[in-house]
Amino acid sequence: MKMYVIQIARVCLLSIVTACSCCFGARAPLVSLEAPVSKWHDGVPLGNGGAGALLWGGGETLNVTLDRADFWHNIHMPCYLRPEFSWATLVDVVRRKDGARRSAVFGDYERVNATKLPGVRFVMTLASGQRVKRFTLDASTAAATVTVETPLGERHILAWFDDGDKLLSMRIPEDVKFAKREFLNNSSFDRLGGYPAAAVSIGAREATYRRARRAGADNRFDIDFEAGVRFRAASDAPASSFWPKFNSESSVSIPDADLQRLYDFVIYLYGAGARAGHPPLALQGIWTADNGALPPWHGDYHNDLNTEMTYWAAGPAGRIEALEGFAEFFIERLPECRAFCKKLFGDSAEGAVIPPTMGFGAHVIGGWTAYTVLPVHGIWVFDTLCDAWDYDPTPEKAAKYLAFGRELAAGIEHAWKMVDGVRRLDLSCSPEVGSNGNACFLSPNSSYDRAILTSFYIYLSRLAEASGDKAEAEKWKAYVGTFGPPNAAADGTIELSAGNLLKGTHRHPSHLLQVFPLTNVPLEKGVDFTRSVDQWEKLGTDWWVGFSFPWAGCFEARLGRGDRAYRYLKDFQRAFTSRCGFNLNGDQLKCGLSRATYDPFTLEANFGYARGIQEMLLAYDPHANTATLFPALPKEWDGREVSFRNLRVPGGHRISATRSADGKVTHSLAPWPGAKSLPKVKVTEGAK
């Protein structure tokens, strides 16, 4: 294996990688759909972080589904307000295996919950003789074009969001005429009750829709949901200051047009849906289901996988603003997280607990108890928050995130007891194994818990060291290794918990976090990553869902098995995405990849896919401070050029590289200003 060690001054090198200096504007449209586009989740997504839209339809109908990131039904579920909702009660009912009481006390099937609210559909009916022909999305301008056939030929409607605008801009040619324009109310509001009628105005310059939302358990109302369309002059065009910078951050170029388009589409979603100053992406972001119902799983912040996976690709792609918005959102909710800690552990309990499934205001959302109450899931959130520092390591972030981490550390202390020198949690799980039966609770500490807690204290130690407090760094470092020995079979296969090997196909490889994404957790004696991944995969994909396939791709890339990584990512792209590219949880081709063939849309698998592509091109080992170029390319790409520009590794360093068709690799590294150490850069033997 060839190794290149680069010593670089603080001045960034001129890139020697000419082939990967591509830009979005030179590529085909991110989305190009012939009408009819009959389902909302197939539509063209637009957004500016706070407001979102989907364009879809066909024939004489042009649908514009409008949404807002902050439009939520914020309310405590009734069971949460009762005194028996506590950690002590949960420990007791689990030990008694009293599933009925557990469900009653903790709201497993509670109907009254906080939820993301759907927006509104604006329907524009074309005049007779005109019809919608095509929808396209251009990444360079983040604008959508709707091609309309008219008696005078094709005409083009242009739609975009200006930075910071609540209304969607639409430039409509004079030749395009409409017979009717109207807003359609979502009937789900009627089921929630108490929402007054919307205020609607449709005129020549604007069509606006305003609606009250329920803001808290006291049922007060705020008129704060405003959406609509701003009709623009023929000379107007998108003029965003955000998108040129966003699109220049990084890029990849791979010799598979379908995978390339999906990667670019996914990265685009960060710019459209995840910006500083706006709420982070929940399950559906700013594209909430427009099907007359409330969104699946409340459209919540689901912190036992979905929230975290949604941000896996942001750091390597250099989309730091998305990560910063994520971090600020949770830090701003520190008072609510402190209140949840006291709710679980008593009024005298210090610290904070991030609710595992939560709404916009950090209201707890009921569901399967092991995954909606146990505090360890919120600890995993901290890893994502720390990515905002790790890929852009400023001292200010280190101090701010360390302060938040101390609160979480104080909160989790209430959930374990010291037993023979081991910090043993009172309750343990491995999402989503065991569904909601008694088997969902495992003997502490599960492999899932061990990996999350180990990673957490490693991060706290690093943040303290970066903040100049060596004593605190040593304090947190002392926690590492105190969560019991690894749960591994004799051959090194990672178990769910001690002596408990996963025995059937399962969508959530939660016991393998140590393999990926928590790569800062060191490989432990007696653990075999390759055997562990192989064992999960050999159980079959029958009950995998959309996110399982990208996660498998990340595992395989980490193991250097490019052909397998490519297969899993390709399977996801072809069978688990909508026409525009959104993740749909089930096998849409019904080709045997999964017995789940349903189609709820959630975002996380899209970003897991993008991280899988990044891992095939660039792998970082935090223990050796080594970046490996092209560690997992498939044979399918032999003899074809592959490149990437400005992908980041922890420490903030940017790396660019090209593997030419003859296998020759050229690369450059732009170090983070003021970096004390630079990563070693290795080239695998497969890239000669």
Q: Is the separation of the CB atoms in 665 and 629 below 8 Å?
A: yes
Kindly state whether residues 50 and 10 are assigned to the same domain.
no
Residue 579 lies in a domain: no
127-136, pLDDT tens digit by residue? 999 999 999 9
pLDDT value at 391 more than 60: yes
- Res. 303: pLDDT tops 80: yes
User: Is 410 part of any domain?
Assistant: no
Average pLDDT of the segment spanning 652-665: 97
- 34 and 170 in a single domain? The answer is yes
pLDDT cut 70: percent of the chain above it: 94
Instruction: Give CA–CA dist 608/585, Å, rounded.
Output: 13
Same domain, 180 and 240: yes
User: Rounded to an integer, what distance in angstroms lies between the CA atom of residue 31 and that of residue 268?
Assistant: 11
Q: Does 451 map to a domain?
A: no
pLDDT at 214: 62
pTM here is 0.95
pLDDT band (50, 70, 90) for residue 212: confident
- 328-353 pLDDT, tens per residue? 999 999 999 999 999 999 999 999 99
Q: What is the pLDDT of residue 25?
A: 39
Asked if residue 172 is part of any domain, the answer here is: yes
Are 65 and 169 in a shared domain? yes
One domain for residues 7 and 67: no
* Range scoring the smallest mean pLDDT among 143-157, 211-225, 636-650, 655-669: 211-225
- With a cut of 70, say whether residue 357 has pLDDT above it: yes
Average pLDDT over residues 228-244: 96
**Are 52 and 185 found together in one domain?**
yes
**How many independent structural domains does the chain possess?**
2
Q: Quick one: pLDDT at residue 684?
A: 81
Q: How far is residue 672 CA from its own chain's centroid?
A: 25
What average pLDDT is seen over the chain?
93
pLDDT on residue 674? 82
* 13 and 49 part of one domain: no
On whether both 39 and 155 belong to a single domain, the answer is: yes
pLDDT surpasses 50 at 416 = yes
Q: Give tens-digit pLDDT for 497-540.
A: 999 999 999 999 999 999 999 999 999 999 999 999 999 999 99
The DSSP-derived string for 575-611 is HSB-SSS-BBSS-TT-SSS-S-----B-SHHHHHHHH
The predicted model gives 554-573 an average pLDDT of 98
Task: Write out pLDDT tens, residues 566-600.
Answer: 999 999 999 999 999 999 999 999 999 999 999 99
Cβ contact 82:89 at 8 Å: no
Domain match, 10 and 151 both: no
Are residues 215 and 173 located together in one domain of the fold? yes
pLDDT of residue 222: 62
pLDDT of residue 677: 84
Q: Is residue 334 part of a domain?
A: no
pLDDT of 190 reads: 78
Domain contains 214? yes
Assigned token pair, 67: 């949404």
pLDDT, residue 384, reads 96
Poorest-pLDDT segment among 110-119, 303-312, 678-687? 678-687
Tens digits of per-residue pLDDT, 2-37?
Answer: 333 333 222 233 333 333 334 433 568 999 999 999
Closest C-alpha to 343, from 82, 668, 22: 82
pLDDT digits (tens, 9 = 90+) for 24-78: 335 689 999 999 999 999 999 999 999 999 999 999 999 999 999 999 988 899 9
In this prediction, residue 321 carries a pLDDT of 97
Together in a domain, 12 and 41? no
Residue where a domain stops, chosen among 190, 224, 247: 247
Region at 431 (left for phi over 0; alpha for psi -120 to 50; beta for the rest) = beta
Q: What are phi and psi of 46, to 5 degrees?
A: -125, 155
Query: Cα separation of 487 and 609, whole Å?
Result: 28
pLDDT of residue 341: 98
At residue 223, does pLDDT exceed 80?
no
CA–CA–CA angle 144, 148, 150 (5° rounding): 160
Percent pLDDT > 90 in the chain is 88
Phi, psi of 685, rounded to the nearest 5 degrees? -65, -25
**Residue 161's domain spans which residues?**
29-71+117-247
Of 224, 247, 270, the residue at which a domain comes to its end is 247
pLDDT at 16: 31
Q: Tokens representing 173?
A: 């040619």
Give a yes or no: residue 634 inside a domain: yes
SS (H, E, C) 485-519: CCCECCCCCECCECCECCCCCCCCCHHHCCCCCCC
Count helices and strands (H / E) in the chain. Answer: 18, 27
Please check whether residues 148 and 40 belong to one and the same domain: yes
Single out the residue of 65, 167, 174 nearest to residue 124, CA to CA: 65
Average confidence (pLDDT) over 424-429: 98
Mean pLDDT of the 597-611 span: 97
Q: How far apart are CA 580 and CA 603, in angstroms?
A: 13
Give the residue from 247, 271, 304 where a domain finishes: 247
* Token representation of residue 239: 């003029």
pLDDT average, residue stretch 80-93: 97
Please, which pLDDT band fits residue 186 given cuts at 50, 70 and 90? confident
- Asked if residue 538 belongs to a domain, the reply is no
Kindly tell me if the per-residue pLDDT of 396 is higher than 90. Answer: yes
What's the burial of 140, exposed, middle or buried (CB within 10 Å: 0-12/13-18/19+)? Answer: middle
Predicted confidence at residue 111, as pLDDT, reads 79
Whole-number pLDDT of residue 428 = 98
The confidence score (pLDDT) of residue 474 equals 98
